[in-house]
């Protein structure tokens, strides 16, 4: 088991290295010169050349890649071309915001979704199940901007209970932060819960058609226990992967929600940087997103293995 985890960890590092190459290379082949972009359309050729020298753009790509990689490993992602501040200081604030939003959403959505998936499966075919299944489908098909806008319309504009924008200022206390986070979190919780609950139900449903489930029925095991114990134990692996993908999405793919609530998260930082050709920031964001995906999938696989007795086979019997 430990061997497998170490091996997977090595593979993960290798993947990240390849990704870093791709990210760097992709930024290299983008049309337009970074120096030109930084100085704007009306810069004189002399100025551009001077800046190129200053930024070290005349040196070979491989050398710049290695410097960038070593720097990134030490937390130094270079300087933003737009704000001229270190990328790392831009990142740290945004990263904390994204982690807060994604973390709170995950903590609420994942247990809720799995519970809903299990309960609807237990009550298969009853009114609650049918209503819930239709709602899951409808909600996961609803575009986030619509959902978020409706929430704002209802709670911020009509009722006036909550702020329409989720602006986090440094001095705000817990109450203010919570109020600010409430609407964006709610929109994301709804979308993610609907997705995961739907998948949970589908995974459990396919497990329920297995012969060992029929055997459990014929042993006189009540349905609640069949779904919640016999089936759920076998659903851990696939479920972990579904959850991992959804959490990764919360980190990197929530630009719409961040924009609607003017929430200063990573996804918006990435979009803004792409628009302003702020390549060091784009590179840093891309690396963080990839790392999130790869690490989450790694965690999901390890969890799946922990629940699979096959992978524990090396253990001697007496320890069991």
Partner 1 sequence: MGTSVLTVDHLGIATKAGHKVLDDVSLQVRRGEVLALIGASGSGKTTLALAALGHMRPGLEHVGGSVNLNGVDVLKAPHPVLNRLRGRIGAYIAQSAAAAFNPRIRLGDQVVESALLHHSQKSAEARARAREVFRYLSLPSPDRIGSRFPYQVSGGQLQRFMIAMGMQEEPLLMVCDEPTSALDVTTQVEVMRLLKRAIRDNNTAALFVSHDLAVVAQIATRIAVMRAGRIVEVGETDQVVNAPREEYTRELIAACTHLSLASLANRPSRLLTAPATALSVQSIVAGYGNVRGGKPQITTLHGVDLEVGKGEIVAVIGESGSGKTTLARVIAGLHAPASGTVALEGEPLAGLDRERTDGQRRRVQLAVQMADTALNPKHRIRRILGRVLRFFHGLRGDAAEARMVDLLAMVSLPANYLERYPTQLSGGEKQRVNLARALAADPDVLICDEITSALDTIVAGQIIDLVKRLRDELGLAIIFISHDLATVASIADRVTVLRHGRVVEAGECTRVLSAPADPYTRLLVASVPELRRGWLEDAAATRKALEVELEMVRPTVAGWNEQAEMMP
Give SS3 for 86.
Answer: strand
Whole-angstrom Cα distance, residue 185 to residue 191? 10
Whole-angstrom Cα distance, residue 261 to residue 179? 12
Rounded least distance, CB 223 to partner 1, Å? 7
State which of residues 221, 245, 295, 306 lies at the interface with partner 1 (CB under 8 A). 221
Tell me how many residues contact partner 1 (CB under 8 A): 26
224 lines the binding site for partner 1 (CB under 8 A) = no
Q: Please state whether 124 falls in left (phi above 0), alpha (psi between -120 and 50) or beta.
A: beta
State which of residues 31, 40, 60, 220 lies at the interface with partner 1 (CB under 8 A). 220
Rounded least distance, CB 118 to partner 1, Å? 16
Whole-angstrom Cα distance, residue 8 to residue 277? 35
Q: Return the residues of window 301-320 that contact partner 1 according to CB under 8 A.
A: 307-310, 313, 316-318, 320
DSSP label at residue 96: H
Q: How many residues does the chain have?
A: 320
Q: Return the residues of window 68-107 that contact partner 1 according to CB under 8 A.
A: none
175 lines the binding site for partner 1 (CB under 8 A) = no
Q: Which is nearer to partner 1, 62 or 313 (CB)?
A: 313
State which of residues 25, 214, 253, 262 lies at the interface with partner 1 (CB under 8 A). 214
Q: Which is nearer to partner 1, 161 or 212 (CB)?
A: 212
Whole-angstrom Cα distance, residue 140 to residue 107? 19
Torsion of CA 80, 81, 82, 85, to 10 degrees: 40
State which of residues 2, 62, 159, 218 lies at the interface with partner 1 (CB under 8 A). 218
Cβ-in-10-Å burial (0-12, 13-18, 19+) of 292 comes to buried
State which of residues 200, 234, 252, 292 lies at the interface with partner 1 (CB under 8 A). 234
Q: Which is nearer to partner 1, 194 or 232 (CB)?
A: 232
201 lines the binding site for partner 1 (CB under 8 A) = no
Q: Which is nearer to partner 1, 3 or 317 (CB)?
A: 317
222 lines the binding site for partner 1 (CB under 8 A) = yes
In 3D space, the residue among 250, 252, 232, 230 whose CA is nearest the CA of residue 240 turns out to be 232
Q: How far is the CA of 179 from the CAs of 141, 227, 257, 312, in angstroms? A: 27, 37, 16, 46
Instruction: Report the interface residues with partner 1, using CB under 8 A.
Output: 210-212, 214-223, 225, 230, 233-234, 307-310, 313, 316-318, 320
């Amino acid at each position: 088991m430990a061997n497998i985890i170490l091996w997977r960890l090595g593979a993960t590092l290798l993947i990240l290295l390849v990704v870093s190459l791709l990210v760097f290379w992709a930024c290299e082949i983008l049309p337009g010169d970074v120096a030109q972009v930084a100085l704007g359309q009306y810069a004189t050729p002399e100025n551009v050349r001077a800046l190129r020298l200053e930024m070290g753009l005349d040196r070979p790509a491989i050398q710049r890649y290695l410097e960038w990689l070593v720097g990134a490993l030490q937390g130094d992602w270079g300087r933003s071309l737009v704000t001229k501040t270190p990328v790392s200081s831009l990142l740290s604030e945004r990263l904390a915001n994204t982690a807060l939003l994604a973390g709170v959403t995950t903590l609420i959505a994942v247990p809720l979704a799995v519970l809903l998936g299990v309960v609807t499966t237990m009550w298969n075919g009853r009114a609650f199940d049918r209503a819930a299944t239709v709602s899951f489908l409808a909600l996961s098909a609803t575009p986030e901007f619509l959902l978020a806008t409706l929430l704002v319309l209802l709670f911020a504009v009509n009722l006036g209970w909550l702020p329409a924008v989720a602006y986090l200022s440094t001095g705000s206390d817990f109450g203010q932060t919570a109020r600010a986070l409430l609407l964006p979190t709610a929109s994301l919780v709804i979308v993610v819960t609907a997705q995961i609950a739907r998948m949970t139900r589908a995974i459990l449903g396919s497990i329920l058609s297995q012969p060992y489930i029929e055997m459990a029925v014929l042993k006189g095991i009540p349905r609640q226990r069949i779904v919640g114990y016999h089936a759920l134990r076998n659903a851990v692996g696939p479920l972990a992967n579904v959850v991992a993908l959804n959490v990764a999405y919360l980190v990197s793919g929530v630009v719409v929600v961040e924009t609607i609530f003017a929430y200063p998260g990573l996804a918006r930082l990435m979009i803004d940087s792409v628009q302003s050709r702020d390549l060091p920031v784009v590179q840093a964001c891309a690396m963080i997103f990839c790392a999130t995906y790869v690490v989450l999938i790694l965690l999901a696989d390890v969890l799946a293995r922990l629940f699979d007795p096959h992978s524990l086979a090396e253990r001697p019997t007496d320890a069991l």
